[in-house]
């Protein structure tokens, strides 16, 4: 029976006793009470009570990543002290190793394609350079042909003049062809540069895939997120564990707090953060712990027909040795007078 139910029963019994007293007093001969007399108001309670549990200040429930897997190794036992990064449990990595190998092959292939694309850019650049040099040569040839034509003496034959003009025309045609060749080389270089950019992007995608595959394989080893104690190991070698199911729990026993489990909406409004609280542990009933309300959950969870809010209490005094995660306790929290 929860303490809330006990409190309600006490109030009801008190009301019944008061009613009986009132009726019997009114029926007593010689009573001076007037029919209109009333009972004095019942003072508001100055505290509320709730069941609670012990939780570490830091705790982690480590579950299998992705779609889960088969346990290959269990490396710790409950009660072991571990440091941050200590391997706790490994899942079978055969499939993950295959994924990593495939991703490595994809990176190698993409890198080879990118290297070929870069080589094509280099070749296209060389062709642009060669066509530019050809243009300069063709320009020089045109200049020479023009000079030869213009330098003919006045007494030369018409055939000689026609030959000089033809030489100028040939030089100019060679210059036009060189310019066209450079335009084509430049266009080819743009295409090669685009292909190189696409190839490098493919390398980046392949490398991202390799990183993801490597991370997925690394995640198959569950590691301690901080220094602490292994609270429980819920997996065995050869067992298949699904995603989201805690396989190993790690707690930091350097500090503890208490969380209420049944404080409903009719009571939570009467307390505030910073309020004084006293916690009594079922395992250590003679060692009450002084504390304060550190936080009140802003959202209530429906439990057995009640809306329950979790209140976190931090100890302000010493706590007994031997506290364990999930030990049961009762908490009494002070309220404002008359609230």
Paired residues of 329 in beta bridges = 52, 281
What distances in angstroms separate CA 251 from CA 5, 56, 119, 322, 326, one per listed residue?
33, 6, 57, 14, 11
pLDDT at 164: 87
Instruction: End-to-end CA distance of the chain: give it in Å, rounded.
Output: 25
Q: What is the pLDDT of residue 12?
A: 43
> Taking the CB of residue 18, how many other CB atoms lie within 10 A of it?
13
Please identify every stretch of the chain with a pLDDT value under 70, giving residue numbers as ranges. 1-44, 337-339
pLDDT at 42: 52
Question: Is residue 45 within 8 Å of 335, Cβ to Cβ?
Answer: yes
What is the total residue count of the chain? 339
Query: Cα(281)–Cα(321) distance, rounded to whole angstroms?
Result: 12
pLDDT at residue 216, rounded to an integer: 86
Which H/E stretch holds residue 216? helix 158-218
The sign of the torsion formed by the CA atoms of 61, 65, 69, 73 equals negative
Q: Going by C-beta distance under 8 Å and a sequence separation of 6 or more, which residues neighbour residue 267? A: 4, 48, 50
Question: How far is the C-alpha of 234 from the C-alpha of 303, rounded, in Å?
Answer: 26
Question: If 0-12 CB within 10 Å is exposed, 13-18 middle and 19+ buried, where does residue 282 land?
Answer: exposed
Give the burial string for 201-221 (b: 16+ CB within 10 Å, else e). ebbeebbebbeebeebbeebb
Pairing of strands 246-260, 289-296: unpaired
Q: Measured between alpha carbons, how far is 112 from 129 in angstroms, rounded to an integer? A: 26
Specify the residue for token string 């302000």: 316
Distance CA 216, CA 209 (A): 10
Q: What is the reported pLDDT for 44?
A: 61
Q: What is the pLDDT of residues 113-165, one digit of tens each?
A: 999 999 999 999 999 999 999 999 999 999 999 998 888 898 888 898 889 89
Q: Domain 43-92+227-334 in CATH: superfamily?
A: Efflux pump adaptor protein, beta barrel domain (2.40.30.170)
Spell out the residues 6+ positions from residue 43 whose beta carbon is closer than 8 angstroms to its own.
none
């Amino acid at each position: 029976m929860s303490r809330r139910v006990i409190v309600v029963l006490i109030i009801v019994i008190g009301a019944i006793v008061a009613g009986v007293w009132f009726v019997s007093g009114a029926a007593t001969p010689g009573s001076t009470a007037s029919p209109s007399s009333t009972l004095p108001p019942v003072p508001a309670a100055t505290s509320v009570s709730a069941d609670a549990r012990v939780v570490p200040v830091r705790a982690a429930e480590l579950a299998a990543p992705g779609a889960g897997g088969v346990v290959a190794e269990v490396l710790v036992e409950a009660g072991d002290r571990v440091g941050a990064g200590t391997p706790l449990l490994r899942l079978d990595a055969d499939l993950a190793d295959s994924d990593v190998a495939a991703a490595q092959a994809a990176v190698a292939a993409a890198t080879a394609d990118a290297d070929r694309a870069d080589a094509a850019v280099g070749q296209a650049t060389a062709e642009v350079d060669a066509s530019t040099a050809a243009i300069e040569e063709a320009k020089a040839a045109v200049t020479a042909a023009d000079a030869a034509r213009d330098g003919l003496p006045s007494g030369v034959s018409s055939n000689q003049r026609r030959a000089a003009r033809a030489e100028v025309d040939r030089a100019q045609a060679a210059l036009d062809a060189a310019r066209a060749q450079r335009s084509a080389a430049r266009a080819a270089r743009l295409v090669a540069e685009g292909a190189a950019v696409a190839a490098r992007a493919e390398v980046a995608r392949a490398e991202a895939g390799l990183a993801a595959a490597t991370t997925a394989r690394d995640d198959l080893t569950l590691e301690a997120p901080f220094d602490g104690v292994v609270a429980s190991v819920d997996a065995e070698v050869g067992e298949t564990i699904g995603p989201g199911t805690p396989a190993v729990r790690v707690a930091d026993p350097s500090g503890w707090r208490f969380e209420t489990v049944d404080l409903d909406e009719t009571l939570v409004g009467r307390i505030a953060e910073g309020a004084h609280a006293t916690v009594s542990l079922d395992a250590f009933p003679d060692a009450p712990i002084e504390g304060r309300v550190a936080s009140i959950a802003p959202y209530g969870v429906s439990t057995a027909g009640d809306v329950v809010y979790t209140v976190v209490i931090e100890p302000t005094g010493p706590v007994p040795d031997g506290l364990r995660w999930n030990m049961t306790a009762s908490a009494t929290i002070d309220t404002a007078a008359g609230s």
